Amino acid sequence: MSRSVLVTGGNRGIGLAIARAFLEQGDKVAFTYRSGEPPKELVDAGALAVRCDITDSAQVDAAYKEIEEKHGNVEVLVANAGVTKDQLLMRMSEEDFTSVLDTNLTGTFRVVKRANRGMLRAKKGRVVLISSVVGLLGSAGQANYAASKAGLVGFARSLARELGSRNLTFNVVAPGFVDTDMTQALTDEQRAGIVAQVPLGRYAQVEEIAGVVKFLTSDDASYITGAVIPVDGGLGMGH
Ligand code: NDP
């Protein structure tokens, strides 16, 4: 099995672990990075690094053209890129809100829509969207982020219905708190407060998210679509 896989935001954090996991199983992996240099580790292992800001449709289109030329149509898409801009509602500007939605939700729409073309032609495709436990539970100070991540659930489930008959699956992974740059922004006190709420009593490691994403694109998951899989140490149980 050597599929053409695309991971957005694959240059660090969860996306990097996902790209690494697909490379390890022999897939042809492309990943997007927005800033800086792509990680040498992935490039040396044969991954295709494509610079792309998912808030810009032209960049998304150009990225796909390059990937299609080098790896063929994308068969597995992991829409992972995302941002936070935390603020209490009273202080949250319209730009704080719309920019987070534009990356996390509309950005995901842009990359999924562009992948759809090739997947329909191939009559197969696996799409995994990285949401968050916060999209289901809500989170004070993260109304923009939580709304964007909840939006991904409705988006994926609509596409699961719309395109299931074409042999395309759309699933959502909802991680809890994972040790990455995104959560480094939290204070020690905030981290301790979060860990106290997690039945497993710790943050997730990035590999624990990557493993579930890999499963959802495997043959073992061929009858799973429209699912929201929590990988949150039990934090969001019941939601
Ligand atoms: P990081 O902040 O470590 O990485 C975010 C990634 O998204 C980077 O590669 C970044 O690129 C990319 N990105 C951000 N904005 C854009 C954009 N406009 N266009 C293209 N790429 C962009 O985050 P994590 O690895 O922690 O998170 C990955 C995903 O998992 C996100 O969707 C996040 O919301 C979600 N998640 C994370 C959790 C956590 O606890 N860490 C928990 C639940 C969900 P660049 O390096 O150029 O900035």
Domains in the chain, CATH or no CATH each: 4-177+207-231 (3.40.50.720)
Q: Is 145 a catalytic residue?
A: yes
pTM, two decimal places: 0.98
* Interval between CA 235 and ligand 1 midpoint (Å): 20
Render the burial of 180-192: b for 16+ CB within 10 Å, e for the rest. bebbeeeeeeeee
pLDDT digits (tens, 9 = 90+) for 173-197: 999 999 998 888 888 898 899 899 9
What is the pLDDT of the chain when averaged over all its residues?
96
Residue 164 Cα, ligand 1 centroid: separation in angstroms? 28
- Residues 43-74 have pLDDT tens digits of 999 999 999 999 999 999 999 999 999 999 99
Q: Which of 33, 145, 203, 223 is catalytic?
A: 145
Closest ligand 1 atom number to CA of residue 181: 3
Q: Between the CA of residue 30 and those of 38, 48, 94, 107, 181, what are the distances in Å? A: 11, 4, 34, 17, 22
Polymer length of the chain: 239
> What are the tokens at 155?
């988006």
- Index of the ligand 1 atom closest to the CA of residue 53: 19
Q: How far is CA 200 from CA 79, 96, 238, in A?
A: 27, 33, 16
Around ligand 1, the residues with Cβ closer than 6 Å are 8-9, 11-15, 32-35, 52-55, 80-83, 103, 107, 130, 132, 175, 177-178, 180-183
What's the pLDDT at 219? 97
Predicted pLDDT at 1: 65
- Which ligand 1 atom sits nearest the alpha carbon of residue 52? 20
Contact 6, 13 (CB under 8 A): no
Contacts of 205 (CB under 8 A, 6+ apart): 178, 179
**Cα 145 from chain centroid?**
14
The verdict on ipTM greater than 0.90 is: yes
pLDDT tens figures, 79-109: 999 999 999 999 999 999 999 999 999 999 9
Q: Residue 239: pLDDT above 90?
A: no
The answer to whether the CB of 214 falls within 8 A of the CB of 21 is yes
